[in-house]
Structure 1
Amino acid sequence: MSGGDVMPGLKGSVDAFFGIDISKDKFDVYGIGRDEKKLFQFSAAMDRNGFEKLKEHLVVVSVSSVLIGMESTASYHVNLFSYLVSEGYQVVIINPLLISNYVKMQLRKTKTDKKDAVVIAQFLLANGNTLIQRVDSSLISDLRDLSRQREGLIDEMTALKINIKRLLNITFPELEHMTSVFTKSILKLVQKYPSAIALGNANLGQLSQMLIADSYGHKREAFAVKLIKAAHSSVGTKSSAKEIILKQNVTLLLHLEEALEEITGILIEMSRKQMEDDINILTSIKGIGDKSAVNFLIEMGGDVNHYEYSGKIIAMAGLDPAVYQSGQHEGKGRITKRGNRHLRRIIWMMTTKVIQYNDIFKAYYLKRRTEGLPYKMAVLATAHKLIRIAYAMLTRRTTFCPQMNS
């Protein structure tokens, strides 16, 4: 089977099930047939010899079709998973929560690693025909790494911006009211003059030159005079320590901005080669841009056909409401938050943007608010509507039509 194939259910009839329990340095394997009889059990190192030892065991099993399952780990499962897929085996990555719930339902409790492999094999036997078999291509995996690196950069930049504003509020509080602090020219200015006192002693010509023409044009000299005047009358506090920290934070932010620009360009370029039509479909919804569309498609696996219906995407993101039961009453509470937090985050961001810029979704959001839903619940309801529409568009290969979705 080629990497990237995704099918609801399994290919044909599976005759043998192999559970693999993985740790950093080794893995344990347990295989059973449809009759639950043990086929083999062994442990091996997480290296080439160990992988080939597993393949040798699988080759001698006289069955026509096998299914291999392993729990999702932070990263330990990736190499063995990729190896088995490249060898043509059907492999599923299982959410550890599913295994945990399965164990709780069993009368016999298991503890050791080898028994964990047994449990995974038994779980496959019991649930194999209902599992979604999903094998990501190496490209989708790489795109996901780039996307999450980009997300991490944004988080770091946000933290730095908060700290820069906090420090400027001490060293030069008037600056924030005069201009946007986070333009490149102002950041470089703060990097050189991290306080009102430092700026007050600046040379007017040098300061004017720092305010690059594409930011302020012919007004840059007048703005430089205004800055120096504000610095002379500032109530900012002199602090050598805070100035050093502020300069370092600005330096880091400028570096991260360059890294973000680079990784965003690479991410969009690679994604368009893989899924340009899907990106164009999603960006036909006003409020969804290239970056949001790319991140959404990557986090949901690169192909909407992985999912039988839109609710599967909502559940994968953990945006489905949790069900609670009390006595004879059953109801729905907060969202589960058990799914892909990266997907959940991008769906939330997409939703807030379409509420802001798209009349259809804005109207739906306001309707839910007038019906009494609090802000977050109204956004969540709108997110469900957005995913239903996006799913329909992607599966039908159509762009957004306001008349059909009003």
Structure 2
Amino acid sequence: MKNQSELLSQNLGVDVSKDSLDVTFSTMDVQRQVKVKASRKFFNTLNGFKQLQKWMESKRVKDVELRILMEATGIYYEQFAWFLYEKEYTVSVILPTKAKRYLQAIGNKSKNDKIDAKGLAQMGLEQRLPLWQPLSKNIYRLRLLTRQLEDFNNQRTVFLNQLHALSHGAYAVKEVEKSLKKLVKELEKSIAQLEKSIEKLITEDEALSSKVEKILSIKGVGLKTIAVLLAETNAFATFENQGQLVSYSGYDIIENQSGQKTGKSRMSKKGNAHIRRAMHMPAFGVVRNKVSPFVSLHERLLGRGKTKMQAYVAVQRKLLILIWALWNKNESYDPEYNQKEKNTSSNDEPKLLFSLGSEGDKKQVAPADTEATQDELPCKESPEVLFSLEQS
């Protein structure tokens, strides 16, 4: 092991999965040469954390900076990040898309947990990444409440669709109908309780309530939408710029162009589907209430031959960015400001004109399957499971 004077820094790269932590311990010397010292796998449990800490301490050089880097892999990184935070280690957590782009840039063509951990360790040595800040108690509670609310609304939609199908069947089965109605009634009761809990939590938190009240100045955006955004983004603390927020939410655009070939651009959808679903209803709301500049954007895209869903998704993206800006500036919405800035906003317009095909015009009654989101929780893209609330 190099002595203290020969080392600039040390880093532990951690690739997190549901059950395990793949780690690589690397160092950088004064010539800025990166060297892998050791790699190992541990269980993603409290006992595994303690074993990892003991192993890491046996490898590190005292009095030389040690930083730990991991991806924000759903919820599975949180317990380990909290463990390190409480032990006063220097921890950074980055979005998966940022890690992926770095690994591609250094020429990693293969992908597995060990390779990812090695790449993260090198990235942590070469870049000065922001330090991780854990969720506050109220934001953590808010996330649990909003996700449970989403899940109950999903279940309610499924049962209502089953009742609808049952009513059109060849034979009526009273026992099944009675059971389904009972389940729907219980879910509606639980949904109402969760909605009250969400409102109470935000109202009683002065730091949250004052800013939320200002965002509610956007006619068409409701409290539960804002609650989801705050819960899923740690009150937007994770993001340095709007591009990171757009990418994290899955609204970033993937272009398909090479030489003379120009294919269709599309939205990646590789991000937090909870956010995209929460933005669905307010996009309709701001257009219905003729809020500037969203109604003009919607009409302009329709006039250029875009589908209704393409236009509404463009509105979702623009509205998300506006909410992020208002939150950071602690300001209320000013429609006149958007009129003054309309020339600069046109620079973003080409990125909004992505192709989603014709699926947006087809109304889905019952979600047939689920897809894994960034946090591996089931999320359906059907509009029918979006909170079932009227945005005021």
TM-score (norm 1): 0.69
Aligned residues: 323
Aligned to 1:77: 77
Q: CA deviation at 1:85?
A: 1.8
Point out the structure with the larger helix share. Answer: 1
Cα pair 1:321 1:332 within 8 Å, conserved: no
- Which is greater in Rg? 1
- Specify the alignment match of 1:117 in structure 2: 117
* Unaligned ranges ≥5, structure 1: 1-13, 171-236
- Go from structure 1 to structure 2 and tell me whether the alpha carbon gap of 1:113 and 1:401 turns closer, same or farther (over 3 Å shift): closer
> Which residue does 2:135 correspond to in 1?
136
1:287 aligns with 2:220: yes
Q: Which residue of 1 aligns with 2:304?
A: 371
Report percent identity of matched pairs: 26
Taking the TM superposition and a 5 Å limit, the aligned residue runs for 1:5-404 are 15-35=9-29, 36-58=34-56, 61-73=61-73, 75-96=75-96, 99=99, 102-103=102-103, 114-126=114-126, 128-129=127-128, 133=132, 135-170=134-169, 239=172, 242-272=173-203, 273=205, 275-303=208-236, 305-328=237-260, 333-360=265-292, 361-404=294-337
Q: Are 1:18 and 1:29, in contact at CA under 8 Å, matched by a contact in 2?
A: yes
Residue 338 of structure 1 deviates from its aligned partner by 1.0
Deviation of 1:306 (Å): 3.6
Q: What residue in structure 2 maps to residue 197 of structure 1?
A: none
3-state DSSP class of the match of 1:159?
A: helix
What secondary structure is seen at the aligned counterpart in 1 of 2:323?
helix
Identify unmatched segments of 5+ residues in structure 2.
Answer: 1-7, 340-392
Q: Which residue identity is paired with 2:337?
A: M
Deviation at 1:249, TM superposition (A): 0.8
Q: 1:15–1:63: 8 Å Cα contact kept in structure 2?
A: no
Q: Which amino acid aligns with 2:13?
A: G
Contact 2:14 2:70 in 1 (8 A): yes
Shift in Å, 1:63? 4.1
**TM-score normalized by the length of structure 2:** 0.72
Distance 1:32 1:63, change over 3 A: farther
- The amino acid across from 1:398 in the alignment is E
CA RMSD of aligned residues (A): 3.0
Asked if structure 2 preserves the Cα contact closer than 8 Å seen for 1:323 and 1:333, the reply is yes
Q: Distance in 2 between matches of 1:288 and 1:96?
A: 29
CA contact (8 A) 1:16 1:63 kept: no
Say which SS state the counterpart of residue 265 (structure 2) adopts: strand
- Residues 91 and 131 of structure 2 are in contact (CA less than 8 Å); yes or no, is this contact kept in structure 1? no
